[in-house]
């Protein structure tokens, strides 16, 4: 031990300064200096630390883990020692072997006064984006607004992304934590950032049914970011499940009500097929195209009729929905139903505007088919809806002729009466 070391250790400032002024040295290697300074910091021995620095100890000396006295003081939350070290020119962004800075240590241990002091001197967190995002996302998830705000005040990037490219705003939106969402949005978080699946915070809020959060994000400029096929997929799935509230939320947040999938089918097609009257009404009120056609030319009304959805078919018909059949298509549908004896579906089809006298390429009508199979009940229904009993097919045959040929006496009787 040199005389200067002894004087400093024994806290003899006058002797130490006199020796130092005459060229005395501490004669300590960097590791020893770092260890000594860190011990002073750990023990909050401000006087000894100050004297060591005054007598030539390097303020940035680091130990085997590349940690400096400032790292330790920040970790311990010792503001007076941190202030002294900074005044003595300590390197504020020195990194230890794990890449951590003094500011990062202070924040990790929640010593925010120290963190603000370091920050005011240019301190940086210098944390890997994924690590920072993980911490911020956890705080967003549990709703720890105060600590989140403190991290942001210390320079944390509120748009930091994790391995799935998700940000704290994604997490806060998913769980519907409105106070956290407000902090992030007010702090300048990117509203329409997309994760690895293309999801935006607004999309997350809508998917989880977080109405207030979705409304705030939408108001601030948030977007769903759907392609047309994606929008159609979401709406059609909700229509199929009958999820009215989520569907309405999705529409209020800007999802196109007429988005069509690869088969050109819209949510209204699905809702009509499923017979969900509430969904149909919601879609129509949001401007759904009543007579949108899928790749096969089908309209929502046609889907409702095909599946026997009476209430939905009546609603669509009342609002202006059309079947959209060509004459041959109409004839084919009616003839098939007449052949199968599907009375209810046939009546629904007729009530929804299908032409009872539609003829196929052979000039045959549903009345011909009903007479051929001997279904007198359907014959009567067709006649009641205005079927022409004297209409002839391409060979000149009437429905009556078919009934006579197949020996369907009751049908023959009904058709003779109608023909007369």
Question: pLDDT-based confidence at 2, cuts 50/70/90?
Answer: confident
Instruction: Assess contact for 88 and 110: CB atoms under 8 A.
Output: no
Cα separation, 12 vs 323, in Å, equals 102
* pLDDT mean over 237-243: 91
Helices 211-219 and 178-186 pack at an angle, to 10 degrees, of 10
* pLDDT mean over 14-19: 80
Extract the tokens encoding 157.
Answer: 């990037």
Q: What is the pLDDT, as a whole number, of residue 318?
A: 94
Q: What is the pLDDT, as a whole number, of residue 135?
A: 82
Question: Which of 38, 80, 74 lies closest to 59 in space, CA to CA?
Answer: 38
What is the per-residue pLDDT across 118-148, written as a single tens digit (0 to 9) for each?
A: 999 998 887 776 777 788 888 888 888 888 8
Distances (CA, A) of 24 to 9, 18, 196: 15, 9, 62
Cα separation, 168 vs 136, in Å, equals 6
Q: What is the pLDDT, as a whole number, of residue 23?
A: 81
Instruction: Assess contact for 68 and 62: CB atoms under 8 A.
Output: yes
* pLDDT mean over 259-283: 95
With tokens 């899928």, the residue in question is 294
Q: What is the pLDDT, as a whole number, of residue 137?
A: 85
- What residue spans define the domains of the chain? 3-120, 127-222, 226-324, 327-419
Where is average pLDDT lowest: 7-16, 191-200, 261-270, 397-406? 7-16
**Greater model confidence, 12 or 299:** 299
Over its C-alpha atoms, the chain yields an Rg (Å, rounded) of 40
Question: Which of 101, 89, 32 lies closest to 62 in space, CA to CA?
Answer: 32
Element (H, E) at 82: helix 79-87
| Residues β-bridged to residue 258 | none
- If phi > 0 it is left, if psi is from -120 to 50 it is alpha, else beta; for residue 156 that is beta
327-419 CATH pick, 3.40.50.300, 3.40.50.10310, 1.10.15.40, 1.25.40.20: 1.25.40.20
What is the per-residue pLDDT across 368-394, written as a single tens digit (0 to 9) for each?
A: 999 999 999 999 999 999 999 999 999
> Which CATH architecture best describes the domain 127-222?
Alpha Horseshoe (1.25)
For domain 226-324, the question of CATH label 1.10.10.10 is answered with no
Question: Which of 382, 277, 267 lies closest to 334 in space, CA to CA?
Answer: 382
What is the per-residue pLDDT across 318-354, written as a single tens digit (0 to 9) for each?
A: 999 999 999 999 999 999 999 999 999 999 999 999 9
Extract the tokens encoding 326.
Answer: 């060509």
Instruction: Assess contact for 212 and 176: CB atoms under 8 A.
Output: yes
Q: What is the pLDDT, as a whole number, of residue 420?
A: 67
For domain 3-120, the question of CATH label 1.25.40.20 is answered with yes
What is the per-residue pLDDT across 156-171, written as a single tens digit (0 to 9) for each?
A: 888 988 888 999 999 9
Q: Could you count the other beta carbons within 10 Å of the beta carbon of residue 264?
A: 15
Instruction: Assess contact for 60 and 91: CB atoms under 8 A.
Output: yes
What is the per-residue pLDDT across 77-117, written as a single tens digit (0 to 9) for each?
A: 999 999 999 999 999 999 999 889 999 899 888 898 999 99
What is the per-residue pLDDT across 294-318, written as a single tens digit (0 to 9) for each?
A: 999 999 999 999 999 999 999 999 9
Torsion, CA 407, CA 399, CA 381, CA 415, rounded to 10: -70
Question: pLDDT-based confidence at 27, cuts 50/70/90?
Answer: confident
Answer yes or no: same fold for 3-120 and 226-324: yes
Cα separation, 264 vs 279, in Å, equals 19
Q: What is the pLDDT, as a whole number, of residue 54?
A: 86
| Exposed/middle/buried for residue 318 (C-beta within 10 Å: 0-12, 13-18, 19+) | exposed
Q: What is the pLDDT, as a whole number, of residue 133?
A: 79
What is the model's pTM? 0.68
Q: Is the confidence at residue 7, as pLDDT, over 80? A: no
């Amino acid at each position: 031990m040199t005389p200067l070391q002894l004087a400093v250790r024994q806290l003899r400032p006058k002797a130490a300064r006199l020796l130092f002024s005459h060229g005395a040295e501490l004669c300590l290697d960097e590791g020893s200096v770092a260890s000594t300074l860190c011990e002073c910091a750990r023990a909050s021995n401000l006087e000894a630390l100050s004297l060591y620095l005054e007598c030539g100890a390097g303020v940035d000396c680091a130990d085997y883990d590349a940690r400096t006295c400032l790292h330790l003081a920040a970790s311990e939350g010792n503001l007076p020692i941190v202030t002294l070290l900074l005044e003595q020119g300590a390197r504020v962004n020195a990194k230890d072997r794990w890449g951590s800075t003094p500011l990062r240590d202070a924040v990790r241990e929640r010593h925010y006064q120290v963190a603000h002091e370091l920050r005011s001197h240019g301190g940086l967190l210098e944390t890997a984006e994924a690590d920072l995002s993980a911490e911020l996302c956890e705080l967003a998830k549990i709703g720890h607004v105060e600590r989140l705000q403190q991290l942001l005040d210390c320079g944390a990037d509120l748009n930091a992304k994790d391995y799935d490219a998700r940000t704290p705003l994604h997490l806060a939106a998913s769980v519907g934590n409105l106070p956290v969402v407000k902090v992030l949005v007010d702090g300048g978080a990117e509203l329409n950032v997309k994760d690895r699946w293309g999801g935006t915070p607004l999309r997350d809020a809508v998917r989880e049914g977080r109405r207030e959060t979705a409304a705030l994000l939408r108001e601030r400029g948030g977007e769903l970011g759907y392609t047309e096929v994606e929008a159609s997929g979401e709406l059609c799935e909700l229509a199929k499940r009958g999820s009215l509230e989520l569907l309405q939320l999705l529409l209020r947040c800007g999802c196109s009500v007429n988005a069509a999938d690869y088969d050109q089918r819209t949510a209204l097609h699905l809702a009509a097929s499923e017979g969900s009257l509430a969904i149909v009404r919601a879609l129509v009120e949001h401007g759904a195209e009543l007579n949108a056609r899928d790749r096969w030319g089908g309209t929502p009304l046609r889907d409702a009729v095909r599946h026997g959805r009476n209430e939905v078919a009546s609603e669509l018909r009342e609002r202006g929905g059309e079947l959209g059949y060509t004459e041959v298509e109409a004839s084919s549908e009616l003839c098939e139903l007449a052949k199968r004896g599907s009375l209810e579906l046939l009546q629904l089809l007729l009530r929804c505007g299908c032409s009872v006298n539609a003829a196929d390429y052979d000039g045959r009508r549903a009345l011909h088919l009903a007479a051929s199979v001997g279904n007198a009940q359907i014959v009567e229904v067709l006649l009641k809806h205005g079927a022409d009993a004297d209409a002839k097919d391409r060979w000149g045959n009437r429905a009556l002729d078919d009934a006579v040929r197949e020996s369907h006496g009751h049908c023959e009787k009904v058709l003779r009466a109608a023909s007369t």
